[in-house]
Structure 1
Amino acid sequence: MPRIKALEYEETEPAVQTEYEHQIQANGRMTNMKRTLAHSYPALHALLEWYPLHDAVLPFLGERAVDLFTHAISAQTDCLICSIYFRRVLINAGENPDDLKLDEREGVLVEFGRQLAADSNQISDELFAKLEQYFTPKQIVELTAFGVLMLATNVFNNTLKVELDDYLEPYRKTTTQPQVTLK
């Protein structure tokens, strides 16, 4: 059961209503996470910065790598909503999230995402050196900030026990961590 009620449009302040309308127009829905964030416009706005960072990393990562990275973070934190959301994205892209085939670059991204979520103080120099083989300093900064916002959404959902959106229900999985192999 959620700790904080997800708000309906009519229950929100005008600034949130504007964002609510935008989300429905852009994405077809206002998710339970966003409806919970709707209690506070600054909180909603802060976590919606995920989208500009997504747009910043997409050109140098590519869609599949973005999805793998965000799924790795969300699976590592065991965030019900985010892990199932990205599981859905992978399945709809023709992937088997329980048996992912990764190239070396994707493997580095997945490991970085998992370690960022598990304990960012333990990201090894070796892992960071691998990141530097594939990405510029600016790209690493953008990737890290994007990962941190993904992590923030995971922590928000886990802490407040935000309910899984109905449309995600068919994508539930039975294990916490997907299997991955390098191509």
Structure 2
Amino acid sequence: MTRIAVPTIEEAPAKSQPILQNYVKVLGLVPNFFAMISQSPDALKAIADMHAALGKSLGHKTRERIHVMTAEVNGCNYCLSAHTFLGGKLQGLTAEDMELNREGHSTDPQADAALQFAYKVAKNRGHIEDADVQAVRAAGFTDAQIVDIVAETAFSFITNIFNNTFKTDIDSVFPPLQTKKAVA
């Protein structure tokens, strides 16, 4: 059960309401995560701005793959459920690919290189080897894209920590998934 209130758009602070209305426009709903964080308009704006700004060089599919992987690494059932739904519905990712994403792989060779790198960054909290950077570069990623991979992974950590802390209820439209870490 969620540890803090999940306000409706009308119950949210006035400064948060336009951002929440935008999520309705884009997604057709306000996910519980955004509703909960809306209690702090500054936090909601920061999250929304980061989400809008980060990782454009990677493409939406790879960004969703990184979110699925990071949710698995951090044992975040909410984020795993949300990004599996969004990856399938909005990006056309297959169930097979998203299952591989959970372990830092992809059916797409280019995305696989990004995911392998992001997985090492996530699992080792950034303590990686020079060879890891060289490998993702060799796969064709620029330094700017490598920065974006790390930034997208770090952004996922923020949402994972929030949802793990507050035990965010999985929205009814998302598949109720469990990470292997959460099951163990």
TM-score with structure 2 length normalisation? 0.80
Residue by residue over 1:97-156, the C-alpha shift from the partner in whole angstroms, topping out at 9 and shown as x without a partner, is 335653443222222222232222322222111122222122222222122112211111
Question: 2:84 maps to what in 1?
Answer: 87
Question: 1:132 maps to what in 2?
Answer: 137
Give the deviation of 1:161 after TM superposition. 1.0
Residue by residue over 1:11-65, the C-alpha shift from the partner in whole angstroms, topping out at 9 and shown as x without a partner, is 22211112122221222111100011011011111111212214x23xxx34433
Q: Check if 1:64 corresponds to 2:61.
A: yes
TM-score with structure 1 length normalisation? 0.81
Q: Check if 1:109 corresponds to 2:114.
A: yes
Q: Which amino acid in the other structure matches residue 10 of structure 2?
A: E
The answer to whether the 8 A contact 2:77-2:177 is kept is no
Distance 1:24 1:173 in 2: 23
Runs of 5+ consecutive residues of structure 2 not aligned to the other structure: none
The answer to whether the 8 A contact 1:73-1:116 is kept is no
**Higher strand fraction (1 or 2):** 1
The answer to whether the 8 A contact 2:2-2:168 is kept is yes
The farther-off stretch of 29-38 and 110-119 is 110-119
Length, aligned pairs only = 171
The answer to whether the 8 A contact 1:50-1:150 is kept is no
Q: Check if 1:172 corresponds to 2:176.
A: yes
1:18 to 1:163, Cα distance in 2 relative to 1, 3 A: same
Question: 1:121 maps to what in 2?
Answer: 126
Runs of 5+ consecutive residues of structure 1 not aligned to the other structure: 178-183
**Higher helix fraction (1 or 2):** 1
Question: 1:180 maps to what in 2?
Answer: none
- The Cα RMSD (Å) is 2.2
The answer to whether the 8 A contact 1:108-1:127 is kept is no
Q: Which amino acid in the other structure matches residue 133 of structure 2?
A: F
1:26 to 1:88, Cα distance in 2 relative to 1, 3 A: closer
Distance 1:158 1:89 in 2: 19
Distance 2:87 2:43 in 1: 28
The answer to whether the 8 A contact 2:12-2:35 is kept is no
Distance 2:38 2:66 in 1: 27
Identity of aligned residues (%): 22
